[in-house]
Structure 1
């Protein structure tokens, strides 16, 4: 992405125009200050060829290649500059270029050096907290199918906002336009494309001259009613720019504008009040309800170069005060291209969070007033290059992302994608222990159930007593653990948005639920006026079967009880049916019918003698099944 549109979306240098290091570098420095990185790189290389191999020249040359995303050359010259320099930001950029070139181990070494120099930097603390983050991103699974969008040109193309049957992109494909010195491509304009009967987009057309000017225009976003379009544009159009007193270079900011729908076209373009000649405001995204505008800015008071902000869209169309999205989202690096989807998921691009190289796409949501963890979208949306302008229709699960990855048509290209799997997932790590010895239990069967009680998958614990599952965020699940000679157990796992969640499950040895007189199971419940065995009752009865299999001489008498509601005769018949169902379930599991008798007690033997004044909890305690030991068991074996 570090090419022509970097003027629009990474930084306008905002006054960071460099003066000449000495008279020899004056020409190259002036080209650099004008963002003419292609020419500046040639000038710095000529100086090196003439013997001026100073750390300054090496560093400036590396910066030129960094800004046009020539990662191989940028890596080469950062390495030369760092032979005699210890600049932390340069070390960070060097690690980024190494990572973009697939040299992950070397990149991590430079990140470790950067972290030691700036231990309080968010980028450093994130790296030290998770130094092995790269394999996790690469191995988390491909959740998208990504393909070339089919309408890219040899120049820069990015964006992809669908609205009213058209697709809006930003492109430098207009060869009749003046080229810009950043990378010698034409200035950027906003285009619309039409959708064919086969679903493909083509016939790119320039928007009218109220929207496109001779300067750069950027991405667009629409209000839900379709009457207002927000977009970025260079402040040169407003005759609003600053001039560096030393370099004599003029530089502009990026402003946000809004246009109003007039018939079938756009008109009445207005500059937003949040614009300022002192900073840039760009990358608009309107929330699905039209109440909030998200954008990126390098206004004072942020955490890094560009941060993400939001502002309320008032009923009269004006904006409230910008609100920084906070340090959890924003880093000391660059956060840009916010997109707020219909389910309030915030997608954005960053080179400050841990990624694969260049800018990666990340996402988060506000849940219960708190920002969920920032997550990397993963491959193939993200690559070793810059990946940005991610937009998704949450209903169709289709969208567009832009990238300068290898294999494209131009310097930047638009890619269409289809989501294949849920994006947000949680790694549940279940550790099964012997409750008596606290040792891990290897070979336990752990089954995962969804919120509807359906078994999803079963796994066996490893030698450390661990079984791992991937589940969708914010979805309640249940784990059922079964182990020979241990009491089975079910554990509910509440939905979470944390990336990893650990749960420890301790199993009691099977004898622990036995006394010399009875076997004590969790309450066995029946549906109202029913006697069939429920899934929960079956789970408890399986423990009884397990014990009876271990002690083949064990003989059980099962009794079922009701609460005091209903007539005596009705409760007696109901309890008898339930006792009989309990007996039949155990027999169906292979236990000889001579080993289990069944008896209904009705309401005659309450657990809590509360008469007609029972609470719901007391009624529940009285509706129970009990399992008396008639003969056999561990005591008989002794």
Structure 2
């Protein structure tokens, strides 16, 4: 089921139809206007079978199937509508979505190109044109979560999933005592409660009482941190608020938000929020971890698309402040719904407007110092070719839920348990390796990405274009180290960021002519951790640079001297420095340098770089080192 249809909303669905209605379509049009899409499809199909098919009927069949997310049929009828002369941009966009949902990515991009030509200023077109290879980038990020269908799902729609005080709350159309909703011929939606058992299973299905559930739709729930207030959506029919179409005689409701207070026997004292209006819908509430902010989706005037994400202040009594639109970086000309604000203030939401895998995808971002960060697709397998929505996660445990109408489910919508297995937020580092003298790229240069603790995260050679790519978690400080035969090694620090991509350049100086007198230091010293003699990643980088110079000058002989700080007995420090000297020598030999070309000795604490008493910690760091001098065979 298309998630825009989870509740009745007065949306002008017929705005994409391009040809006139007729007496022949009057019955089918009335069903369509009443959102009875299953029955409308049957009526329009009979007209086609009678030979009365035309662009108008094809368009209505496409739209009706789109609204119930029958992607195969929707694709077929969109194709027929365009073959017959339909040309509305929004229909092109939906056609592209259906093709993508059916795995026809090239065909989808073809329609997106047409859409972008017709609507170049549309933010969806702008995003697509700036990133036409977005599908490969989403898929290449790989699997970040494990996803498992829950046993509690029924043959009907089940979605949501909010946890509070050992209880799970979901929304479902499984209540056969309700009348059926013409949109999809399933019962109206109710809120159900389960108890979370010790083994993590969900037991004791309970339909919440009439204070919460009515004969109308009820939707997604959210709770204040102390559990004293529950917020949820409900149709405005309950308040006798609706509009009536004089032609179809159809009543249209909007969605309103309500709050209920926790009592000893459940939630009651239901009140409508002050921000409700008969002129627009408000739905999908979520409360921040500190209880001070409520986020929701609304189609109120002044937004950027059909539904936008908003936020408002929330006080301890559940009173809501003035809604604030989250802005055009989050909200598009499509639909943004189902916000969820996690305990580390990451905002997750579902969208048809941002670049995704088909249907509605889950995206996330963070607001830092009043600015919205990059909008990222959560990726597979949380997102699929279907509608993926109502995402919720505990950032500490990495566990949560997502709802979806993807293939393989038990009903029209199912709830899936999720478990994070890799960091979600990542940054693509793109490094270009250049010859500092000529400016040409250096394919094959060996690169290593090192973290702030000196650990090598990964190593790989530059490609045929002299480029290398690494993916790291957001806000991670790193250093890109590069070595290559015939060049001095070099490195560049990369500040941690939450940007999607960071580009950097590392230039290597050719080893051509080094005018250095004998017994002169030719390499930066390397440093050791306290009371350690192993070669760190940073030390290895410097030693690799020395190896490059020694390869350039095959007669060069090096003397390495290793040292300690002043801490510890002198005899112990002498032995420690000798171990450091031998570790240094063995590393260089392991790189193919003849053992006779590198001599090493330990000098303990007798020759400090910093002669101090007392010493600061940084002085100790500088004293724990190995130094290198040329003894013979160096360049003249």
Per the TM superposition, whether the score is higher than 0.5 is: yes
Tell me how far apart the structure 2 counterparts of residues 152 and 375 of structure 1 sit (CA, whole Å): 29
In the other structure, the counterpart of 2:550 is 548
Q: Deviations over 1:89-134 (max 9, x none)?
A: 0111111111111111111111000000000101101111111222
SS for the counterpart of 2:100 is helix
In the other structure, the counterpart of 2:29 is 29
CA contact (8 A) 1:428 1:500 kept: yes
In the other structure, the counterpart of 1:231 is 232
Tell me how far apart the structure 2 counterparts of residues 125 and 479 of structure 1 sit (CA, whole Å): 33
SS for the counterpart of 2:108 is helix
| Matched ranges for 1:289-300 at <5 A | 289-300=290-301
Tell me how far apart the structure 2 counterparts of residues 88 and 538 of structure 1 sit (CA, whole Å): 58
CA contact (8 A) 2:581 2:626 kept: no
In the other structure, the counterpart of 2:50 is 50
Tell me how far apart the structure 2 counterparts of residues 151 and 401 of structure 1 sit (CA, whole Å): 14
Tell me how far apart the structure 1 counterparts of residues 398 and 584 of structure 2 sit (CA, whole Å): 48
Most deviating of 418-427 and 163-172? 418-427
Most deviating of 239-248 and 153-162? 239-248
Tell me how far apart the structure 2 counterparts of residues 65 and 602 of structure 1 sit (CA, whole Å): 81
CA contact (8 A) 1:307 1:324 kept: yes
SS for the counterpart of 1:94 is helix
TM-aligned CA distance change 1:51 to 1:15, over 3 Å: closer
Alpha-carbon deviation of 1:375? Answer: 1.2
Tell me how far apart the structure 2 counterparts of residues 369 and 302 of structure 1 sit (CA, whole Å): 19
Tell me how far apart the structure 2 counterparts of residues 561 and 376 of structure 1 sit (CA, whole Å): 51
Taking only aligned residues, the RMSD between alpha carbons, in angstroms, comes to 3.6
Most deviating of 300-309 and 54-63? 54-63
In the other structure, the counterpart of 1:208 is 209
CA contact (8 A) 2:563 2:602 kept: no
Tell me how far apart the structure 1 counterparts of residues 358 and 536 of structure 2 sit (CA, whole Å): 53
Tell me how far apart the structure 1 counterparts of residues 191 and 132 of structure 2 sit (CA, whole Å): 41
TM-aligned CA distance change 1:578 to 1:503, over 3 Å: farther
In the other structure, the counterpart of 1:414 is 415
Alpha-carbon deviation of 1:481? Answer: 1.9
| Matched ranges for 1:46-195 at <5 A | 46-82=46-82, 83-195=84-196
Q: Deviations over 1:112-164 (max 9, x none)?
A: 00000000101101111111222222232111111111111111111111111
TM-aligned CA distance change 1:444 to 1:47, over 3 Å: same
In the other structure, the counterpart of 2:308 is 307
TM-aligned CA distance change 1:514 to 1:545, over 3 Å: farther
TM-aligned CA distance change 1:602 to 1:451, over 3 Å: closer
TM-aligned CA distance change 1:623 to 1:152, over 3 Å: closer
Tell me how far apart the structure 2 counterparts of residues 49 and 627 of structure 1 sit (CA, whole Å): 89
Tell me how far apart the structure 2 counterparts of residues 222 and 334 of structure 1 sit (CA, whole Å): 24
Q: Deviations over 1:552-571 (max 9, x none)?
A: 433456789999xx9xxx9x
Alpha-carbon deviation of 1:266? Answer: 0.5
TM-aligned CA distance change 1:513 to 1:417, over 3 Å: farther
| Matched ranges for 1:1-12 at <5 A | 1-2=1-2, 6-8=5-7, 11-12=9-10
Tell me how far apart the structure 1 counterparts of residues 528 and 453 of structure 2 sit (CA, whole Å): 18
Q: Deviations over 1:28-47 (max 9, x none)?
A: 22211111111122222223
CA contact (8 A) 1:451 1:477 kept: yes
SS for the counterpart of 1:634 is coil
Tell me how far apart the structure 1 counterparts of residues 260 and 422 of structure 2 sit (CA, whole Å): 37
Q: Deviations over 1:314-361 (max 9, x none)?
A: 344311111111111111000000011111111111111111111111
Tell me how far apart the structure 1 counterparts of residues 528 and 198 of structure 2 sit (CA, whole Å): 57
TM-aligned CA distance change 1:632 to 1:233, over 3 Å: same
In the other structure, the counterpart of 2:447 is 446
Where does structure 1 lack aligned partners over 5 or more consecutive residues? none
Tell me how far apart the structure 1 counterparts of residues 200 and 605 of structure 2 sit (CA, whole Å): 68
In the other structure, the counterpart of 1:332 is 333
Tell me how far apart the structure 2 counterparts of residues 418 and 529 of structure 1 sit (CA, whole Å): 41
Where does structure 2 lack aligned partners over 5 or more consecutive residues? none
In the other structure, the counterpart of 1:38 is 38
TM-aligned CA distance change 1:507 to 1:581, over 3 Å: farther
TM-score, with structure 2 as normaliser: 0.88
Alpha-carbon deviation of 1:370? Answer: 2.7
Tell me how far apart the structure 2 counterparts of residues 531 and 142 of structure 1 sit (CA, whole Å): 39
CA contact (8 A) 1:460 1:467 kept: yes
Q: Is the counterpart of residue 366 in structure 1 residue 367 in structure 2?
A: yes
Tell me how far apart the structure 2 counterparts of residues 597 and 285 of structure 1 sit (CA, whole Å): 65
TM-aligned CA distance change 1:561 to 1:36, over 3 Å: closer
Tell me how far apart the structure 2 counterparts of residues 313 and 222 of structure 1 sit (CA, whole Å): 12
How many equivalent residue pairs? 624
Q: Deviations over 1:245-268 (max 9, x none)?
A: 343321000000010101131011
In the other structure, the counterpart of 2:523 is 521
CA contact (8 A) 1:20 1:26 kept: no
